[in-house]
């Protein structure tokens, strides 16, 4: 039996978490005595694992300094989540899209730079956890664009590359899929431009969740 697997990125694809990410990064940099990072650069780094994103933002810093920023970011984000102040809204139409794909027999997964705890909280807060058969995070894999998360998702679901699609908003998502021969569809509501996604090798660009459903149907 053929398994059709749709693997989604999370931040910038399912939810808009940029404000929470930028705020936590501001707090981490301040706590480490560093100037606030450029918010555009922070948004561009969404999708990478946290250590990789920090390395991109402060490439000249020592490993000790980067480790401290990593710790402070995680502390800030956790405190925001535990206080109930974390806001990661679903993009309009995403809940209907996921329900429709599930009803059509698609197996759904997530491959994200979030932690296990962060992804679990995000999906549970929107009542979506039950829709996903495989959840792959930066806690257990190298950062995108390394294909380990996507490979693990396919292994979990017994899906072949030819029957799998990676859906994301960044060139990291597209590159991850390209590496192992998986089709990539970009979305234009996230953090990298449609032109960047096309240049990275996305086979199509969805302009809305309903358009994405058409591309997958």
Full residue range of the structural domain in which residue 33 is found: 18-83
Domain with residue 22: its CATH number is 1.10.150
Sign of the torsion formed by the C-alpha atoms of 122, 15, 84 and 18: positive
Q: What tens digit of pLDDT does each residue of 100-152 get?
A: 999 999 999 999 999 999 999 999 999 999 999 999 999 999 999 999 999 99
Domain count, the chain: 2
Bridge-based pairing state of the strands 107-111 and 164-168: unpaired
Given 27, 51, 83, the domain boundary residue is: 83
Helical H segments across 46-147, by residue range: 50-57, 63-83, 94-103, 116-125
Statement to judge: residues 207 and 123 lie in one domain: yes
Statement to judge: residues 36 and 104 lie in one domain: no
Residue 162's contacts (CB-CB under 8 Å, 6 or more residues apart) are: 181
Statement to judge: residues 139 and 53 lie in one domain: no
Domain with residue 191: its CATH number is 3.40.50.1000
Q: What tens digit of pLDDT does each residue of 47-90 get?
A: 889 999 999 999 999 999 999 999 999 999 999 989 988 889 99
Q: What is the pTM of this model?
A: 0.89
């Amino acid at each position: 039996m053929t398994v059709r697997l749709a693997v989604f990125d999370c931040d910038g694809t399912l939810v808009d978490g940029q404000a929470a990410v930028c705020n936590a990064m501001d707090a981490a940099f301040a706590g480490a005595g560093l100037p606030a990072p450029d918010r555009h650069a922070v948004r561009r780094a969404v999708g990478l694992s946290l250590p990789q994103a920090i390395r991109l933002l402060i490439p000249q810093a020592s490993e000790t300094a980067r480790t401290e920023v990593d710790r402070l970011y995680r502390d800030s984000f956790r405190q925001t989540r535990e206080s109930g102040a974390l806001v990661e809204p679903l993009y309009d139409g995403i809940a209907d899209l996921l329900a429709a794909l599930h009803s059509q027999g698609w197996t759904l997964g997530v491959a994200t730079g979030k932690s296990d705890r962060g992804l679990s909280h995000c999906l549970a807060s929107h009542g979506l956890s039950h829709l996903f058969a495989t959840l792959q995070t930066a806690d257990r894999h190298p950062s995108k664009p390394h294909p380990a998360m996507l490979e693990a998702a396919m292994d979990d679901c017994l899906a072949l590359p030819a029957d799998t699609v990676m859906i994301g908003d960044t060139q990291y998502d597209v590159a991850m899929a390209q590496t192992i021969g998986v089709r990539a569809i970009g979305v234009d509501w996230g953090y990298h431009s449609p032109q960047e996604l096309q240049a990275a090798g996305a086979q199509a660009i969805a302009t809305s969740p309903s358009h994405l459903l058409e591309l997958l149907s």
